[in-house]
Amino acid sequence: MFGCLLRYSLRSGPWLAAGLVSLACASPAHADPCEGALPAPGAVFSGAVRYVGDGDGLCLGPAGRPEHWVEVRLGDFFAPELQEPGGAQAKARLEQLVLGRVLVCKARRRSYDRVIGFCTLAGKPVGDLLRARGGREAGRGWQARPSR
């Protein structure tokens, strides 16, 4: 199919060809699947990690029930954004560490459509575990955070 589009568009001009190729090859944007109600500040909640959106954002909850998945932004780690250098690696590192595993989190506050949570895996803070595995912090939140 793309070959036909490419041959047709090459005859139609280079700008049209470039536009059609970029549209045909673009990957779709994926919205996070978390749809659950956010816990109140101070609430402790837990669940298996079902989705990792980036290097410091995830969803946890019951299998196959995204309407109950809670979207969490880790409060103790600031990963680079996906489009920034190291962003894709940060997401992969978080996936390797927590995907499918149970976290226990304490809600701090709401931020947009997610909760800022301080989460532990087997009793250890997830942020500390990420740093121990070579995770580098970056991005807006990290710059604003006081030094440790």
Q: Residue ranges of the domains in the chain?
A: 1-30, 44-144
CA distance 74 to 105: 9
Enumerate residues 6+ apart whose C-beta is below 8 A from 17: 6, 9, 10
pLDDT of residue 72: 97
Cα Dmax for the chain: 63
Asked if 52 and 97 count as a contact pair (C-beta separation under 8 A), the reply is no
pLDDT tens sequence across 32-72? 788 899 999 999 999 999 999 999 999 999 998 999 999 99
Mean of all residue pLDDT scores within the chain? 81
pLDDT bin (cut points 50, 70, 90) of residue 4 is: very low
**What is the CB-side half-sphere exposure of residue 59 using CA atoms within 13 A?**
21
CA distance 70 to 75: 15
CA distance 78 to 100: 21
pLDDT of residue 111: 86
Architecture of domain 44-144: Beta Barrel (2.40)
pLDDT tens sequence across 60-115? 999 989 999 999 999 999 999 999 999 999 999 999 999 999 999 999 998 888 99
Asked if 95 and 55 count as a contact pair (C-beta separation under 8 A), the reply is no
